[in-house]
Structure 1
Amino acid sequence: MKKLSILFCTAVLACSLSKQEVQAQALPEQKETLQSLIKVNDYFMKKHADYTLPSFRDNIRPSNIWTRGVYYEGLMALYGIYPREDYYRYTYDWAAYHKWGMRNGNTTRNADDQCCGQVYIDLYNLCPSDPGMLRNIKASIDMVVNTPQVNDWWWVDAIQMAMPIYAKLGKMSGEQKYYDKMWDLYSYTRNTHGEAGMYNAKEGLWWRDHDFDPPYKEPNGKNCYWSRGNGWVYAALVRVLNEIPATEVHRQDYINDFLTMSKALKQCQRKDGFWNVSLHDESNFGGKETSGTALFVYGMAWGVRNGLLDRKEYLPILLKAWNAMTKEAVHPNGFLGYVQGTGKEPKDSQPVTYTSVPDFEDYGVGCFLLAGTEVYKLK
C-alpha cells in the first residue's frame, strides 16, 4: 500500500512538472510582449532624447554610427507592430539631421558606416516621396558594386551591418547586380577570408575574424565563437531572406547556413535560457549575455514563423530565452542588463552584469526590439 502511495505521488509530481514545463513554453500574450518592448524603448528614448549628440568613447563619433543604426533597426521593427508617432519622428528626425548620410561620406566601403542605410531605406519605403533619402547610401553601395573588390567584410559584424542593404536595394530596384555583389562579398568572407574563410561548416558557427581562426583556441581547447558575432550573421540572414525573392539563385544557400546555424545554436544554449559570450567555453567569461541572446531569439522566432524551423523543436528554445531576458535582464525602469559592451571577443567589456552599463547602450536595445517584435508576431 505504501509503495502504491509513493508511486501515485510520483506520478502526480511528474504531471505537475510537465504542466509547469508546458506553461513555461507557452507563448506570452502579445500585450505582455509589447509592454516589455515599450518599457525598454521608452527608457532609451528618454535617456537619449537628443538624437544629435555624438558619443565620446575614445574619440568623438556621430550618432549615425553602427551602434545607433542597429537601435533604429529595432525601433523600425517595433514601429511596424505598434506605430506610435513619436517612434517615427524620433527615427526620421535622426536621419534628416544626418542628411541621410554616413559618417565617412559616400566613398566609404566600411560596413559599419553603411549600417544606417538600412533605416534610411525603411523610412523611404514608408513614404517614398523624396529620392534624396536614398541618394547617399545608394551611391556608397553602387561604388562597391561597380568595383571588383570582394574583401570588404573582413570582420563578421560587417555581414549584418551592410548585407541587408544590398537585399533591400535589389528588391527596390529589381536589379540583379545588388544580389550578385551581395553573394560575392558574403561568400568571400564565408569561404576565403583568412586561412579558409570565417565560417566553420562542420560546427555551424563563425569566427569573428581571422585572428580567431585555428590554431587559436579557447582556454578549454575548443574553437572561439563569440556570441554576438554569430548573432550578427544570424540576424543578417534573416533580414536578407526577408527581402530577396524565392527565385534568387543563392536563396537556398542562405537558408542552408541559417538552418545549420540554428542547430548549432540550439546545442549551446545555457540552462537558464541565455547564451554565454563564448558559445563553446562557459569558463571563458561565462555568464548571461543579452545582445547575442536577443539576436538568436530574433532569428529563431522568424524561422519558426516562416516555416523554416520546426515549431515544436525551436519554439521552446526561443521562448526560454525570451522569458529569461524579460524576467532577468529588463529592469523595472526599462534599463537592459547583461549587455556586453563593444569589442570582438569574450574578454572585452567585462564584467557583464545585471547592473553594468555598456559603453554603448543602443545596439543592445535594438537587438532586444528585433527579438521581441518577432516573438510578438508568433501565433
Structure 2
Amino acid sequence: MNLKKPIVLLAMLILSASISIAQELPSQEEIMDQMVLTNKHLMEKWPDPGVNVITNRERSSNLWTRAVYYEGLMALYGLKKDKAYYDYAVKWGESHNWDLRNGTQTRHADNHCAGQTYIQLYQIDPKPERIEHIQASIDAMLETYKINDWDWIDALQMAMPVFAQLTSLTGDAKYSERMYEMYMDTKVTQGLFNEEDDLWWRDKDFLPPYEEPNGNDCNWSRGNGWVVAAMVRTLEFLPQDDPHRFEYVQMLQRMLKSVLTVQRTDGFWNVSLHDPTHFEGKETSGTALFLYGMAWGVNNGLLEKEVYMPAITKAWNAISTEAIHDNGFLGYLQGTGKEPKDGQPVTYTSKPDFEDYGLGCFLLAGTEMYKLVGKE
C-alpha cells in the first residue's frame, strides 16, 4: 500500500480548508459592529437596567437571564472600553444594592449568576459593597456539608465561575474545592453526565429510559451549551495551579468533540442534538454557546485549529448573516425552558419570553471570535 498518497491528500485537504476559512472569516470590524448593534438594541429597550422585568409575571432584574447578558457585556467591555457599558453594569448592580435575587441567604445557582459581574466590577473598582452579598452567600453555603444544590446542568454556568472568581480574588482554595465537590456531585452522584456520548442530561427528568421521538437520549442544545460556557468561564477565572483544572479542560474537549459531529450543515445546532427532527430548525443560543467554547478553546491552545475552524466559521456566519435583524434583534432564539419543546416556535421573527440571555451568549461568542480573527 502506498502510504504517501493518503498523506499528501490529507495535507491538500487541510490546506484547502485553511484557504477556505481565511476567505470566509469576517473582519474584526464586522464582528465588533454586530456586537455593538445587538447590544445597542437591548440597552435602548431597557434604558433603566434596574427596572423589574415583566413577562408572565414580574421579576427583579438581577435574575439569571439578565445576569447572563451582563457576562457578555463585560466581555464586550473588555475589548471596547466604552464608559456607557461600564456605567450600565454599575447602575444595574447599584439598583439592587449589589444584592442577589431572593437575598444573601439563597443557595440557588440562578441567583448567584449576578455575582459574576459584581465580582468583575469589584476588580475594576474595589468597593467592598460590590462583593459583600455574593461572598456572604457562598460563605454560608460553605458552612454546611450540603453539595447537591446543582441538580440541573444550567446551574454549572450560573454558579461555578463565581466560586472560581472568589478563589482567585481571595487566594483561598476553599471556594474552588467546594466547587469541584458540587460539580462532581452533579456529574457522577446525580449521574447527569453521559459518559458514552460525552454530553449531559439536563436534569433527572431526562435520564434513561426517557427518550426523544427517534428513540435517542434527550441532549438539549442550550443545556449542554451552558456546561460548555461553565467550563470556559471557570478555566478563565481559576488559578492556573488549581489541582482540578485538567478535569474541566478534559470536559470541555470531550463535549466539543461530541457536538462537532452534530452541527447542522448551515452552521447552527438543533435544539435536540441527537434527534434533529424533534422541533427541527436553527437555534441561536445553543449555537452561540458552542461557538464560544470552540473559539475560546482554539484561542487558548486547547483545541486543534484545523479541526474546529470550519465549524467555528460556519457557526459565526450562520448567526451573523441569518439571525441578526437590521435593528439588532436576535432571531432564532429559543425561549426559557429545559428541553426542545419549550419556547417554541423558534423562528427568525419569534420573540422569546426573555431576549437578554441570548444576547449574552452571542456577545461571549463574538468577543472570542474577535480575538480569534485578530490572530489570523
TM-score over 0.5 (shorter chain): yes
Q: CA deviation at 1:59?
A: 2.2
Output the CA distance in 1 between the equivalents of 2:139 and 2:280.
42
> Which residue does the alignment assign to 1:38?
36
* Conserved 8 A contact 2:72-2:362: yes
> Which residue does the alignment assign to 1:224?
218
> Which residue does the alignment assign to 2:198?
204
> Which residue does the alignment assign to 2:88?
90
Q: Secondary structure at the match of 1:242?
A: helix
1:132 aligns with 2:134: no
Identity %: 55
Kindly tell me the number of residue pairs found equivalent between the two proteins. 360
Deviations 1:40-92 (A, max 9, x none): 10011111112122122232110000000000000000000011111111110
- Structure 1 23/297 Cα, relative in aligned 2: closer, same or farther at 3 Å? closer
Which amino acid in the other structure matches residue 68 of structure 2?
V
Unaligned runs of 5+ in 1: 1-14
> Which residue does the alignment assign to 2:348?
354
Which amino acid in the other structure matches residue 145 of structure 2?
P
Unaligned runs of 5+ in 2: 1-12
- Structure 1 332/191 Cα, relative in aligned 2: closer, same or farther at 3 Å? same
1:285 aligns with 2:279: yes
> Which residue does the alignment assign to 2:145?
148
Q: CA deviation at 1:245?
A: 2.2
* Conserved 8 A contact 2:50-2:91: no
Output the CA distance in 2 between the equivalents of 1:235 and 1:171.
18
Output the CA distance in 2 between the equivalents of 1:69 and 1:313.
32
Q: CA deviation at 1:284?
A: 0.6
TM-score using structure 2 length: 0.93
Q: CA deviation at 1:23?
A: 4.9
> Which residue does the alignment assign to 1:187?
184
Output the CA distance in 2 between the equivalents of 1:82 and 1:301.
19
* Conserved 8 A contact 2:62-2:101: yes
Q: CA deviation at 1:19?
A: 8.5
- Structure 1 253/19 Cα, relative in aligned 2: closer, same or farther at 3 Å? closer
1:120 aligns with 2:118: yes
Output the CA distance in 2 between the equivalents of 1:142 and 1:230.
28
Output the CA distance in 1 between the equivalents of 2:23 and 2:221.
23
Output the CA distance in 2 between the equivalents of 1:216 and 1:201.
17
For the aligned residue pairs, the C-alpha RMSD in angstroms reads: 1.5
Output the CA distance in 1 between the equivalents of 2:344 and 2:41.
23
1:316 aligns with 2:319: no
Q: CA deviation at 1:26?
A: 4.0
* Conserved 8 A contact 2:67-2:117: yes
Output the CA distance in 2 between the equivalents of 1:262 and 1:25.
24
Q: CA deviation at 1:244?
A: 1.5
> Which residue does the alignment assign to 1:338?
332
- Which of 158, 161, 168 is equivalent to 1:161? 158
Q: CA deviation at 1:268?
A: 0.7
Q: CA deviation at 1:27?
A: 2.9
Q: Secondary structure at the match of 2:131?
A: helix
- Which of 66, 69, 77 is equivalent to 2:67? 69
Which amino acid in the other structure matches residue 176 of structure 1?
A
Output the CA distance in 2 between the equivalents of 1:23 and 1:311.
11
